[in-house]
Amino acid sequence: MTRSHAGRRAARLLSPVLILCVATLAACSSGPAGDAEETTGGWSYTDDTGATITLDQAPERVASFTDYAVGLLSYGIDPVAIFGRLDVASDPRLVDYDISDTAIVGNSYGEIDLEALAEAAPDLIVTGIYPTDRAGTLDLAGPYYGFADVEQQQQLEKIAPVVAIEIGGNGLEVIESLTELASSIGASDERIATAKSEYDAAAADLSAAAAETDLEVTMMYADADGVYVTKPADEPESALYGSLGVDYTNLSPDGDYYWDIYSWENAGQMMTGDVLIVNAEGFQDEDLRAQPTFAGHPALAANQVYSWQNAALDYSSQADQMTKLAEILRTASPV
């Protein structure tokens, strides 16, 4: 992700033995994103970068970055290996899934045990790619999300072909892309339909809660350097909720991509939200109260500060997340 240096660091927080093995490499060509096909002769899938991956049969052993592994698990697909930005075993998004037989091959951004991944013998590796700007430009020369650099990505591609999901625009587009991939590798239509029904109900309820309460929500990450306020149109989750009527703090919509960044000296400029949604990986309520220039925020005084971890972008995870946000809105008050 190409943002400011501080923005890249915050994004990775939110939000990095060369194995000589024989593996089938992807055959690449241009084509529409998210297009899958399985014929007598094999399986092919065109991902969101336009690359087409072709295999002899639909992949049965999938490795994935945590953000997308959660979505695959929700559709009944058990990854053989997971690598993440944080400790995978303690990731709360995985608490409802049995990953005892899954190889954990990375617990820090860009740090992937290639030998352990190769031993898991995946047929396919799933990760994401973030646009570099509001126009949706993809940097295809750089590494995909979760990979330390291009060299590491090339090493991974020697183990198994890599498919990338674009994490940009409205969150529903990302959900549909992940769901399309899951369907192509074995998720049942019934399971997807059930999850979609739950999602639709939760979306309608969130829209109702937003209309009933008319509260402004500040979605932010904070650390010792300052406050990073999410640009709601640039983050898939907030873009989705915004389309459902949630009112997000957005002081400079035409400004820098993804973040409005404030030093602690200037943090008072963004004190407009009735509710503070603070990223779980950064400063929390007590830390914010310790900042003299922020301690007077009305939402702090009203105890309307909520720790938040962006959910996986699949129907089931987002149904739960929207239900959580609707409850927050209904229990909060204007400040």
For position 207, what pLDDT does the model report? 98
Pairing of strands 259-262, 226-230: antiparallel
Alpha helices in the chain (DSSP H): 5-13, 66-74, 114-120, 150-159, 171-184, 189-213, 236-243, 285-289, 298-301, 315-331
Residue 205's contacts (CB-CB under 8 Å, 6 or more residues apart) are: 322, 323, 326
Is residue 177 within 8 A of residue 236, CB to CB? The reply is: no
Check residue 66 and give its pLDDT.
97
CB 229 within 8 A of CB 10: no
Contact 279, 287 (CB under 8 A): no
For β-strands 103-106 and 81-83, DSSP reports them as parallel
- Two tokens, residue 223: 């650390």
The per-residue pLDDT for 269 is 86
Q: Are 235 and 270 in contact (CB under 8 A)?
A: no
The two beta strands, 259-262 and 52-55, are: unpaired
Other beta carbons less than 10 A from residue 41's beta carbon: 9
The sign one gets for the Cα dihedral 216, 219, 224, 225 is: negative
Say how far apart CA 330 and CA 308 lie, in whole Å: 17
- Domains contained in the chain, CATH given: 5-187 (3.40.50.1980), 195-330 (3.40.50.1980)
Residue carrying the six token digits 């074995």: 186
Nearest in space to 275 (alpha carbons), one of 218, 207, 211: 218
Query: Cβ distance 109 to 12 under 8 Å?
Result: yes
Distances (CA, A) of 305 to 146, 223, 286: 29, 15, 10
Contact in structure between 118 and 21 (CB atoms under 8 Å): yes
End-to-end CA distance of the chain: 35
| Mean pLDDT per 10-residue segment, the chain (335 residues) | 39 35 30 51 92 96 98 97 95 94 97 98 98 95 97 98 95 97 97 98 98 97 97 96 97 92 92 96 96 95 96 97 98 97
Q: What is the pLDDT of residue 9?
A: 38
**R_g of the chain, CA atoms, integer Å:** 20
* Interatomic CA distance for residues 148 and 33, integer angstroms: 24
